[in-house]
Amino acid sequence: MDNRIFDLSNFDTEDDDIHESCGVLGISNYQDDDLAHIMYFGLYALQHRGQESCGIAINNNGEIIGQKGIGLVPEVFTEKILDRLDGTSAIGHTRYSTTGGSSIENSQPLIFNYKGGRIALAHNGNLVNATKIRYELENKGAIFQTSADTEVIANLISRYGLKYKDLEVILKKTMDVIEGAYALVILTQKKLVGIRDPWGLRPLCLGKLGNSYVLASENCAFDAIGADFIRDVEPGEIIFIEDDSLKSIKTSYNKAHKSCIFEHIYFARPDSIIDGASIYRSRLEAGRLLAIEYPVEADLVVGVPDSGITAAIGYSRESGIPYGEALIKNRYVGRTFIQPIQKLRERSVGIKLNALREEIKGKRIIIIDDSIVRGTTSYRIVQMLKDAGAKEVHMRISSPPVLNPCYFGIDISSKENLIAANYSIEEIRESINADSLAFLSVESLLKTPIGAPVNSFCTGCFTGEYPLSVPFTSNSPENKKC
């Protein structure tokens, strides 16, 4: 008889992943005639940060035009489209949004005209006070075309542009008002601008490609286009780039550095370095510390592809238990995967992942994943391993239990959907049918980004301690993140 505390077998798994944030990219003063193609490669490298829509805005002698669409970078940007996009400076965006927010209107960059000229804007993050500002602006007659909080920023720039001429003043005034997470790239008719929010919640880094400066969410985009990494943009910093000169403004908004620790656990690519810490090394270290905190006798350590693999290697190295490739991922299941009808639903994880029976049969398996959100995927993976003949399945998670929503641009949903916010670890273990279950502690997690400043991370979704106050309404559906 199935006596699990609650039944996870009939839930679909499509919403179980924590979804990515967005990716931004900017290149200035590029003198060859293939800027759009360079942007294409850079955005391709940031595709993991958002797969719903993407776009490029390009400046050709003061004329800013844009192209954006729903879909992946190679779906939106054909050779023909790229050939049409000429210019010397550009910004681009890959977007993930919450349900209902994936319309073309909400895709970025946003391009608008204000008193100071034409401007394009791309944003990664989420403003916690966007709903309030929007309400106030609408009461003053502002109109909005999108439901994205990025348009609130555009509107503020336009409003301050009525009173001030200097872009630096306009942007500082805008930063006075907006609260939350933002990594922004802004293209004007003369300049490329990068801004990181006062806590550095979302990543933004600076690189150089010949005489061009480059801004990107992650430095893996620099590697893709042959640019060199210079440094991370600091929290609260505004960078102005005009021709081949760069001006950095350290605003007084700079707060205690609190970047998102989930970038290290899951979102960022392992070949990126954020705020001085290698993502790959952070994940290895998480696995190593997990093996110290929660050892178990077993025959094989296996990682859930892709983001559990590096932590599994770390666990294996520390424990001495061999690492094995026992789950094979179908690399062609992506954004367009259609959720099967109810009777085929159980097959959905099987389509994305399959177990290697030869590796698993008769063995005690330690399976490592990066996180558990609703628990549905974990249940199916444990089941898959047991069906393939595993004698025991011990699940280890390379992050602490997710207990709270994220208000800063990551799609970690409301508390009622978070299994760890509603059930004990023992209840979760029973429900996913694992022989044992353990999560990395918060103390150990904070040690994993080796090289990053100590105490410089937001851990809000694990601890409930956010770096700034989070009004309840900020995560409401009408306040679309990016």
Query: Interface with ligand SF4 includes 185 (CB under 6 A)?
Result: no
| Residue count, binding to ligand SF4 (CB under 6 A) | 12
What is the Cα–Cα distance from 305 to 324, expressed in whole angstroms?
12
Q: What angle do CA 43, 47, 48 make, to 5 degrees?
A: 145
Q: Which residue from 76, 171, 205, 261 is in contact with ligand SF4, where contact means CB under 6 A? A: 261
What is the Cα–Cα distance from 360 to 385, expressed in whole angstroms?
7
User: Residues 6 or more apart from 429 whose CB is under 8 A from it?
Assistant: 395, 436, 437
What is the Cα–Cα distance from 285 to 479, expressed in whole angstroms?
36
Query: Interface with ligand SF4 includes 410 (CB under 6 A)?
Result: yes
Q: Which residue from 24, 390, 458, 482 is in contact with ligand SF4, where contact means CB under 6 A? A: 458
Q: Which residue from 461, 475, 479, 481 is in contact with ligand SF4, where contact means CB under 6 A? A: 461
| Candidate segments 42-50, 60-68, 105-113, 254-262, binder of ligand SF4 by CB under 6 A | 254-262
- Tokens 């893709």 sit at which residue? 224
Peptide bond into 109 cis (omega under 30): yes
Query: Interface with ligand SF4 includes 482 (CB under 6 A)?
Result: no
Q: What angle do CA 148, 152, 154 make, to 5 degrees?
A: 105
Query: Interface with ligand SF4 includes 326 (CB under 6 A)?
Result: no
What is the Cα–Cα distance from 328 to 338, expressed in whole angstroms?
20
The nearer residue to ligand SF4, 182 or 379, going by C-beta atoms, is: 182
Task: Dump the DSSP string for 39-66.
Answer: HHHHHHHTGGG--SEEEEEEEETTEEEE
Q: Which residue from 167, 408, 439, 448 is in contact with ligand SF4, where contact means CB under 6 A? A: 408
> What is the total residue count of the chain?
482
What is the Cα–Cα distance from 246 to 239, expressed in whole angstroms?
7
The nearer residue to ligand SF4, 28 or 150, going by C-beta atoms, is: 150
Query: Interface with ligand SF4 includes 279 (CB under 6 A)?
Result: no
Structure tokens at 135: 């309400």
Phi, psi of 247 (to 5 degrees): -125, 130
The nearer residue to ligand SF4, 264 or 363, going by C-beta atoms, is: 264
| Candidate segments 84-92, 169-177, 248-256, 459-467, binder of ligand SF4 by CB under 6 A | 459-467
What is the Cα–Cα distance from 5 to 426, expressed in whole angstroms?
10
Query: Interface with ligand SF4 includes 360 (CB under 6 A)?
Result: no
| Candidate segments 228-236, 259-267, 275-283, 367-375, binder of ligand SF4 by CB under 6 A | 259-267
Cβ 412 to ligand SF4 shortest distance, Å: 6
Cβ 473 to ligand SF4 shortest distance, Å: 17
Q: Which residue from 406, 418, 437, 482 is in contact with ligand SF4, where contact means CB under 6 A? A: 406
Nearest to 425 by CA among 447, 395, 381, 448: 395
Choosing from 22, 54, 406, 482, the catalytic residue is 22
Q: Which residue from 64, 120, 260, 289 is in contact with ligand SF4, where contact means CB under 6 A? A: 260
The nearer residue to ligand SF4, 232 or 318, going by C-beta atoms, is: 232
Is 205 among the residues known to form the active site?
no
What is the Cα–Cα distance from 367 to 431, expressed in whole angstroms?
16
Query: Interface with ligand SF4 includes 262 (CB under 6 A)?
Result: yes
Query: Interface with ligand SF4 includes 460 (CB under 6 A)?
Result: yes
| Candidate segments 151-159, 230-238, 307-315, 456-464, binder of ligand SF4 by CB under 6 A | 456-464
Q: What share of the chain is helix, strand, coil (3-state, %, to 5)?
A: 30, 25, 40
Query: Interface with ligand SF4 includes 182 (CB under 6 A)?
Result: no
Query: In sequence order, what E strands does 243-384 have?
Result: 245-250, 259-260, 273-274, 277-278, 300-303, 327-329, 353-355, 364-369
| Candidate segments 215-223, 257-265, 274-282, 333-341, binder of ligand SF4 by CB under 6 A | 257-265
The nearer residue to ligand SF4, 67 or 126, going by C-beta atoms, is: 126
Interface ranges with ligand SF4 (CB under 6 A): 201, 260-262, 406, 408, 410, 412, 458-461
Q: Which residues are catalytic?
A: 22
